[in-house]
Amino acid sequence: MATGTEPSAARPRPRGGVHAPTRAALGVRHLRTDRWWAAPAATAAGLLAFVAYSTWRAFAGADYYAAPYVSPFYSPCLAENCVPMRHGPNWELFGSWWGLSPAVVVLIFPLGFRLTCYYYRKAYYRAFWASPPACAVAEPHAKYTGETRFPLILQNAHRYFFYAALPVAGILTYDTVLAFRDEHYAWGHMGVGTLVFLVNIVLIWAYTLSCHSCRHIVGGKLRHFSRHPVRYRMWRLAGTLNARHMQLAWASLVSVALADLYVYLVASGAFDDPRFF
pLDDT tens figures, 90-127: 555 555 555 567 787 788 899 999 999 999 999 999 99
The beta strands (E) that lie in the chain are given as 65-66, 69-70
256 within some domain: yes
Domain limits for position 119: 38-267
**What does the alpha-carbon distance between residue 161 and residue 110 come to, in Å, rounded to a whole number?**
8
% of the chain residues with pLDDT over 90: 57
Higher pLDDT among residues 90 and 164, named by residue = 164
Q: What is the mean pLDDT of residues 16-24?
A: 55
pLDDT of residue 1: 47
**What does the alpha-carbon distance between residue 262 and residue 271 come to, in Å, rounded to a whole number?**
10
- DSSP annotation of 155: G
- The CA-based angle 124-127-130, given to 5 degrees, is 105
4 within some domain: no
191 within some domain: yes
Task: With a cut of 70, say whether residue 243 has pLDDT above it.
Answer: yes
pLDDT of residue 219: 87
**Residue 34, exposed/middle/buried by CB under 10 A (0-12, 13-18, 19+)?**
exposed
Strands 69-70 and 65-66, by their bridges, are antiparallel
Task: With a cut of 60, say whether residue 189 has pLDDT above it.
Answer: yes
52 within some domain: yes
Over the chain, what is the mean pLDDT?
85
pLDDT band for position 80 (cuts 50, 70, 90): confident
Q: How many residues does the chain have?
A: 277
226 within some domain: yes
**What does the alpha-carbon distance between residue 208 and residue 212 come to, in Å, rounded to a whole number?**
9
Q: What is the pTM of this model?
A: 0.83
Q: What distances in angstroms separate CA 213 from CA 106, 160, 200, 245, 250, one per listed residue?
A: 22, 9, 21, 12, 18
What is the domain count for the chain? Answer: 1
174 within some domain: yes
The per-residue b/e assignment along 246-273, b for 16 or more CB within 10 angstroms, e otherwise, is eebbbbbbebbbebbebbbebbeeeeeb
49 within some domain: yes
pLDDT of residue 22: 62
18 within some domain: no
pLDDT digits (tens, 9 = 90+) for 29-52: 788 889 999 999 999 999 999 999
